[in-house]
Amino acid sequence: MGYPHQPHPRESLVLSKHFGTPEARTLDGWKKRGGYQALEMALGMDPVAIQNVVKESGLRGRGGAGFPTGLKWSFMKIGDGKPHYLCCNADESEPGTFKDREIMRWTPHALIEGVAIGAYAIGAETAYIYIRGEFTEPIERMEAALVEARAAGIIGPNAMGTGKTVNVWVHKGAGAYICGEETALMNSIEGKRGNPRIKPPFPAVAGLFGMPTTINNVETLAAVPHILVNGAEWYKKLGRPDNPKSTGTKLWSVCGNIVRPGNYEVEMGFPFGEFLHEVCGGALPGRTLKAIIPGGSSVPIITLEEAERGLMDYEGMVAVGTMLGSAGCIVIDSAQSMPKQIARLARFYAHESCAQCTQCREGTAWTTKILERMVAGDGTAEDFDTLLEIAENMTGKTICVLSDSCATPVISGIQKFRHEFEALITRTTVHAVPVVVA
């Protein structure tokens, strides 16, 4: 937390190496640090060869879904005669997640480079970086860096003098969480209401402006230059040796009731318990940790005990009943009321529902209504059934997963902290009683 950046010795710095160094924001400063070597290299390669390197590296999407990046790129048919587009998803709005923000604030050229390589690798001449509207500083940084890069001929109609066209544009969001959903994001760029689209067709077939499109997260694209420069083998070695499915480093945003909140970059598979207690400093004095939402607010809530068993990669998180998601880690301690926290999350989703699908529009509102009633002490025993019934209606039945994201913490919260809800109904105090004591 705080700058100048003082990384913890157990971090592995790849993406965050230059966080806190203002000079790295400038083109000269970035070049001094090895910037744009990868792009130069890439523009001399066959796009498919780049796809193969990225495939080989095992890089997976850092936005939440963890889809293999190289594979995603290979869906784009180079030379199909259609314009291709790359969208960089910088609409980082998931509660608890703030890693992309720091990449854009401190190393905007790293993202431009990654975007340019990605665009070239999928046969796109145009890439959009869709940045969350509230990110005023990152937008400024990105735009300034783009001006520099354009002026230097790094991007544009003759990128780095290779005769290849790579145009990169910033598109500002207008404050809707749902525009971080890839198809809603495309609608938003097109100037339409940011409603998610029905899939299929998938973006690689008909995406932005109806054309083949790839959407990648900021952190994903920022990792690509490092992979090109250092090689896939180097990247694959980052991570635990017994899980080749998760490679590289991962930025973790940590917030909540913890001594040292902030962004941390660790190798895939880092032990979660050590991360929480050692790297992040553990619980605040006099408190105990109660619950962790490790991957942004959409993933199941786990208890501290479950978290301590976890390993910080895609598979390691699944193993303890949750997901890596966007690695926005929300730490909740014993001083907090779980029903209140969950009600707040539900309210967020209700507020952000695009209102297309019945289950989401009505379900999130109703769920919130019930949870807030419970928090206010007016809950009833039937509310559990109603909540679970609505949650069932909201799971797996809608166009996008916002509805599921609302249902997930409700279901896991009731499962794991039911006694706190019951106490509210029976009006007994349960605060400061940890469920599981480590």
Partner 1 sequence: MPTLTIDGHTCTVDIGGTILDAARAVGIDVPTLCWYPSLTSVGNCRICLVSVEGTDKLLPACATAAEDGMRVTSESHAAVRSRQGVLGLLLERYPVEDIPAAEARNEFEALVRRYDVPTTHRAGLPPRDGDARDGDPAIRHDMSTCILCTRCVRACEEIQVVGVLDVAHRSDRAQIIVGADGNPEHAGCTWCGECVRVCPTGAIHDIIPMAVRAGDGTMLERPRSNAMPPIDRTVRSVCPYCAVGCQLDLEVRDDTVVHVRSPWIEEATPNRGSTCVKGRFGLDFVQHRDRLETPLIRRGWVKRDGRWIFDATHDTASMWPRRGGPWELIEEEGQTRKRGPRSNPLQRSTSGIGPLGDPRDRVATPLAWYAPFREATWDEALELSAQELTRLRDTSGPSSLAVLQSAKCSNEENYLLQRMFRGGLGTNNVDHCTRLCHSSSVSAMQQAMNTSAASGAMREVEDVADVIFLLGANTTESHPVFGAAIKRAVKRGATLIVCDPRRIELASRAHIHLRAMPGTDVAVMNGMLHHILALGLEDRDFIARRTHQFDRVRAAVQPYTPERASQISGVPAALIREAAERYARGPRSSTLWAMGLTQHATGTDIVTSLLNLILATGMIGRPGAAMLPIRGQNNVQGASDVGAIPMVYTDYQPVTNPDIRHRFAQEWGVPDDRIPLKAGLKVTQMVMDDSPVRGMYIMGENPILSDPQVAHAEHWFRELEFLAVQDIFLTETARYADVVLPGSSFAEKDGTFVNTERRIQLSRAAVPPPGDARRDLDILIELSNRIGLPSPYRDAAEVMDEIARVTPSWRGVSHARLESHAGLQYPVHDAEHGGTPFLFADAFPTTDGKATFFPVEYLPPAELPDDAYPFLLNTGRQMYHWHTGTMTRRSFALDARESTPIVELNPADAAAMGVGDGEEVVVASRRAEIRIAVRLSDRVSPGQVFIPMHYREAAVNLLTNPALDPVAHIPEFKVCAVSVHPANRGQSVHSATTPLQATSWTSASPAE
When asked if residue 397 is in the footprint of partner 1 (CB under 8 A), the reply is yes
Minimum Å gap between C-beta 348 and partner 1 is: 10
Cis, bond preceding 201 (omega within 30 deg of 0):
yes
* Rounded Cα gap, residues 289 and 208, in angstroms: 44
When asked if residue 255 is in the footprint of partner 1 (CB under 8 A), the reply is no
The answer to whether 186 and 203 are in contact (CB under 8 A) is yes
Strand, helix or coil for residue 294: strand
Residue whose CB is less far from partner 1, 111 or 402: 402
Angle at CA 276, nearest 5°, toward 272 and 282? 155
When asked if residue 324 is in the footprint of partner 1 (CB under 8 A), the reply is no
When asked if residue 193 is in the footprint of partner 1 (CB under 8 A), the reply is yes
Span of 247-255, 256-264, 269-277, 392-400 interacting with partner 1 by CB under 8 A: 392-400
Backbone angles phi, psi at 78, to 5 degrees: -65, 135
When asked if residue 296 is in the footprint of partner 1 (CB under 8 A), the reply is no
* Rounded Cα gap, residues 346 and 337, in angstroms: 14
When asked if residue 134 is in the footprint of partner 1 (CB under 8 A), the reply is no
When asked if residue 407 is in the footprint of partner 1 (CB under 8 A), the reply is no
The neighbour count for residue 62, using CB atoms within 10 Å, is 27
* Rounded Cα gap, residues 211 and 194, in angstroms: 18
Residue whose CB is less far from partner 1, 12 or 195: 195
State which of residues 12, 188, 341, 393 lies at the interface with partner 1 (CB under 8 A). Answer: 393
When asked if residue 351 is in the footprint of partner 1 (CB under 8 A), the reply is yes
State which of residues 207, 363, 379, 409 lies at the interface with partner 1 (CB under 8 A). Answer: 363
Span of 118-126, 210-218, 252-260, 389-397 interacting with partner 1 by CB under 8 A: 389-397
Minimum Å gap between C-beta 351 and partner 1 is: 5
Residue among 275, 265, 269, 264 nearest 237 (CA): 269
When asked if residue 398 is in the footprint of partner 1 (CB under 8 A), the reply is yes
When asked if residue 365 is in the footprint of partner 1 (CB under 8 A), the reply is yes
Span of 12-20, 125-133, 360-368, 423-431 interacting with partner 1 by CB under 8 A: 360-368
State which of residues 134, 274, 305, 392 lies at the interface with partner 1 (CB under 8 A). Answer: 392
DSSP 147-205: HHHHHTTSSEEEETTTTEEEEEEEEE--S-GGGGSHHHHHHHHTTS--PPPPSSSPTTT
Residue among 93, 44, 78 nearest 214 (CA): 78
Residue whose CB is less far from partner 1, 8 or 361: 361
In the complex, the residues that contact partner 1 under the rule CB under 8 A are 176, 178, 193, 198, 200, 350-359, 361-366, 369-370, 386, 389-390, 392-393, 396-399
